[in-house]
Amino acid sequence: MELKAWTYEEFPSFDEEVPGATWLETTGDEPGVRYVPDVEYQSVGGVSRVLQILIPSSRNNPAPKPERNASRAYPCIVYVQGSGWMTQNVYANLPCIARLAAMGYVVAIVQYRESGIGVFPDPVRDARNAIRFMRVHAEEYAVDPERMAVMGDSSGGHTATYAGILHDDDTEYNLFPGTSAEVSCIVNYYGSTDFTFEDSNPTTPDHNESTSPEGMIMGGIDLNRDREARELLTVKCNIDEKTSIVPVLIVHGTKDRVVNTKCSVYLYEHLRSTGHECQLYLLRGADHGGPAFWTPDVLAIVDEFVRTHV
């Protein structure tokens, strides 16, 4: 066989008879994922923040590389990893999140400025700049810039939902002037979105105190003594009939020991009562995250919701 840079079409197929071997057909559309690690999307005050980017890839539609353009563009989900607004392990849930990419989405996992570095709403501003970055670099990462969604879990669910409320395109916080951070829908996995009732975080011993995750992201404020700060951090307190917010999908377990299920129930009821589109799915017996949220059935719900709106 000649040694050269064969194209796939040119390369001869092995078709010799092999007794006892089993032949399986392939189509070239079998879903795969290309992982692009640690892509810097912003540097603010000397603090660099990065994305983990997952791109659908198959033989017929390979993911782009520096030497190869994308053969098609996909809708994009900017994903905010939960961490109690503290230092994120953006690699921990890559295997599960990659399932979204295999379904035909470019997924960009956001590292934001955590408490101690940033103060609310810095994580939201970072998420919105990540959305803008993916729009600016759409061709490089096979993104359709007109089909964007934001998603997150736990504190990331809070950040993702807030990213649909904080419309800051025309402010100094937009690091990509002229580029929008607006999305078509929001997916909130068991978001920590409500701090107005006593057991909203039932296993956090210092709940709402200055040392709690929620107190720290507000700059070390005791939210029990500062109603204004408590309500600023609570998503439902910042939504009324005039609020511009895209459709929201909420998924929450009924035995969540970290974020009370009522956080999602109250947000769902408030969104509906103020005339906004929202769907709520409660996973009976599910705890705070875990495999129950990444089953084919749940991912089919997410897929249908996102594709309907993007």
The Cα 288–Cα 195 span in angstroms is: 17
Q: What pLDDT is attached to residue 69?
A: 65
Tell me how far apart the alpha carbons of residues 9 and 5 are, in angstroms, rounded to a whole number.
12
Distance separating alpha carbons of residues 180 and 150, to the nearest angstrom: 13
Tell me the β-bridge partners of 86. Answer: none
Q: How far is CA 284 from each of CA 93, 241, 252, 256, 296, rounded to the nearest angstrom?
A: 22, 31, 9, 10, 16
Residue 97: per-residue pLDDT: 97
Instruction: Using pLDDT thresholds of 50, 70 and 90, give the confidence band for residue 64.
Output: confident
Whether the pLDDT of residue 78 is over 60: the answer is yes
Q: What percent of the chain has pLDDT over 70?
A: 98
Predicted pLDDT at 21: 98
pLDDT of res. 171: 95
Q: How many CB atoms lie within 10 A of CB 160?
A: 30
Residues 200 and 268: beta-carbon distance below 8 Å = no
Token readout for 15 is 């078709």
pLDDT at 148: 98
pLDDT of residue 8: 92
> pLDDT per residue over 256-306, tens digit each?
999 999 999 999 999 999 999 999 999 999 999 999 999 999 999 999 999
- Kindly state the tokens that stand for 83: 């961490």
Q: Is the pLDDT of residue 237 over 70?
A: yes
For the chain, give the mean pLDDT.
96
**Nearest in space to 256 (alpha carbons), one of 290, 223, 230:** 290
Sequence letter at residue 62? P
Radius of gyration of the chain (CA): 21
Alpha-carbon gap, residue 94 to 299, rounded angstroms? 15
pLDDT of residue 70 exceeding 70, the answer is no
Specify the range with the lowest mean pLDDT, choosing from 52-66, 142-156, 235-249.
52-66
On the question of pLDDT at 66 being above 90, the answer is: no
Q: Residue 307: which of 100, 128, 127 has the closest Cα? A: 100
Give the chain's domains with CATH numbers: 34-309 (3.40.50.1820)
**So what's the pLDDT on residue 67?**
56
Tell me the sheet residues that pair with 115: 118
Q: State pLDDT tens for residues 122-171.
A: 999 999 999 999 999 999 999 999 999 999 999 999 999 999 999 999 99
Residue 307: in which H helix or E strand, if any? Answer: helix 296-309
Give the H or E element holding residue 47.
strand 47-57
pLDDT at residue 65 in the model = 78
Q: List, for residues 104-127, the tens digit of each pLDDT value.
A: 999 999 999 999 999 999 999 999
pLDDT of residue 68: 62
CB 284 within 8 A of CB 305: no
Give me the residue label for tokens 């309907």: 308
Residue 77 has pLDDT above 70, yes or no: yes
Give me the percent of the chain exceeding a pLDDT of 90: 95
